Amino acid sequence: MLPSSTVENYLKAIYLGEGYLAEGQRLMPMGQLAAALGVAPGTATTMVKALAESGLVEYEPYNGVRLSAAGEKLAALVLRRHRLIELFLVRVMGLGWDEVHDEAEQLEHHVSDRLIERIDEMLGRPEVDPHGDPIPGADGRVARHESDTLLTCPLGERVTVTRVTDQEAPFLRFIEQHHLMPGESIEVEARDEVSDSVRLKGRGNQRMTIGMRAASKVRVSASDASSRG
Amino acid sequence: MLPSSTVENYLKAIYLGEGYLAEGQRLMPMGQLAAALGVAPGTATTMVKALAESGLVEYEPYNGVRLSAAGEKLAALVLRRHRLIELFLVRVMGLGWDEVHDEAEQLEHHVSDRLIERIDEMLGRPEVDPHGDPIPGADGRVARHESDTLLTCPLGERVTVTRVTDQEAPFLRFIEQHHLMPGESIEVEARDEVSDSVRLKGRGNQRMTIGMRAASKVRVSASDASSRG
DNA sequence: GACCAAATTTTGAATGTCCAAAATTAAAGC
DNA sequence: GCTTTAATTTTGGACATTCAAAATTTGGTC
Ligand SMILES: [Mn+2]
Ligand SMILES: [Mn+2]
Ligand SMILES: [Mn+2]
Ligand SMILES: [Mn+2]
């Protein structure tokens, strides 16, 4: 029995449920899962019990849910399809990076392995999608490397945007318009808790100030002198 | 309520149910519909009653089913997506014409209008798919022109293959290997009822003999002297 | 230790899709 | 006109997914 779209969406939501890093101890609360999927809490409970039956998750009543090894692999493969499709839509089909997420959300469940392999090949085995999110390999493995956000990176140093962790179209358009897309080199000049804002020096030393909530969604890494001029 | 994949498949099956040409009188028998969709007869009956409820088909118990105007338009749009996707997979993704049907069978239900428009544009508003099947317009209209098959075309005259009306991969591979794909110029030398076979002169005047059943699946039109050298 | 609020689970029910097997109808032959 | 047969519909039930509302559990708070 191959998994339905619904099952794939549940697994993906659990996989993406916050950090979920190293230690396999963290449980995703049912309420958070239900919210992520836009279903009633009771629906999530019923579904998760079924997923536990089929060995895709471990479920601790009143506590939360966690992916099993099998579930994690499946989730990673769905994510792989999602991100390859996004990149394909941007690079080959010429769609905007702000309009590919919804399309990929559907297609991720319906493209064959054959076609995904072809897409992967055509794109040159890419490692990240248009938003900088890493693309899991065909084996389900992901290269997770730590990175700062605009809230945590050092002040006064050039950094390179690596990832934008919010798929909302208006936010993505904002990022694009202000030249904060992955690959751009920028610098955090100052942060101010009181005004809840971060001041940036962007492309062409253009100054801009954004809120901390927005700043937390832009990930960066130290601008290695060797990369870019 | 946008139609489910199931509904779209039912409408498409009825649309494709044999000739279905001009006069809107023909009804598709329920048994044939059930067989086309691979479901039990009772399932088709139940479903068709629901489709009649929503005004997509007209249903005459014990007699059969026919598309309403609304149903026909919807079916044509599904077919449009199907055929554009097939052509896209062949031309852009480099898949074989024998392996795109199944993929399109899924994707036809899940690509957005936006993406289909982009595909149509990228392909230069094509009129036929890789098998020579006409692609309905965005308004649902199809250019239906009459054509012969290898069983009905004149003997001893050059004709051009326009269409292959069987999606089975082995058959398509046979056609490809024998250079009988759409665009090829060939000639029917003889037909023999007793041996149930048709003798052809193909590319490079290569002779071959195929069965009448197979011959009926290859459509041709008179080789206009102006087309091809 | 009783009590409250929030999170979670349970219950009862709906929808869409499907099947197998029984019942019915239509068509054809005699 | 009856009978046989093939096609079709009905019946009863399954499964996946969903919801709203009621019941329960949990983690604090006094
Ligand atoms: Mn999805
Ligand atoms: Mn992405
Ligand atoms: Mn289909
Ligand atoms: Mn085709």
CA of A74 to C1' of D22 (A): 36
Q: Which of B82, B105, B115, B123 to mutate to test the interface with A (most CBs of A within 10 A)?
A: B115
Contact (CB, 8 A) for B98 and B177: no
d(CA B10, CA A49): 33
Contact (CB, 8 A) for A64 and A27: yes
d(CA B88, CA A76): 27
Contact (CB, 8 A) for B61 and B52: no
Q: How far is CA A40 from the centre of its chain?
A: 24
Pairing type for strands B148-149 and A218-222 reads: unpaired
What is the token pair recorded at A72?
């994690």
Q: Which of B6, B85, B113, B114 to mutate to test the interface with A (most CBs of A within 10 A)?
A: B114
**A4 close contact with B: CB closer than 8 A:** no
pLDDT in tens, chain B (229 residues): 899 999 999 999 999 986 544 455 789 999 999 999 999 999 999 999 999 999 999 999 999 999 999 999 999 999 999 999 999 999 999 999 999 999 999 999 999 999 999 999 999 999 999 999 999 999 999 988 888 999 999 999 999 999 999 989 999 999 999 999 999 999 999 999 999 999 999 999 999 999 999 999 999 998 865 544 3
| CB of B62 within 7 Å of some strand C atom | yes
Give the closest residue to B223 by CA, choosing from B175, B186, B191: B186
Q: A37: which nucleotide lies closest, measuring CA to C1'?
A: D18
Give the single-character DSSP code of A137: P
| CB of A46 within 7 Å of some strand C atom | yes
The closest ligand to the CA of A105 turns out to be 1
Contact (CB, 8 A) for B152 and B216: no
The pair phi, psi for residue A61, each rounded to 5°, is -50, 140
Contact (CB, 8 A) for A28 and A11: no
What is the token pair recorded at B47?
């479903």
Residue that has been written with the tokens 């904060």 in this structure: A180
User: What own/partner pairs with CB < 8 Å and gap ≥ 24 does A168-172 have?
Assistant: A169/A98, A169/A99, A169/A101, A170/A98, A171/A214, A171/A217, A172/A97, A172/A98, A172/A131
Q: Where do the domains of chain B lie, and which CATH numbers do they carry?
A: 5-67 (1.10.10.10), 75-144 (1.10.60.10), 148-227 (2.30.30.90)
Query: Structure pTM?
Result: 0.92
Taking the CA of residue A99 and the nearest CA in chain B, the distance in Å comes to: 10
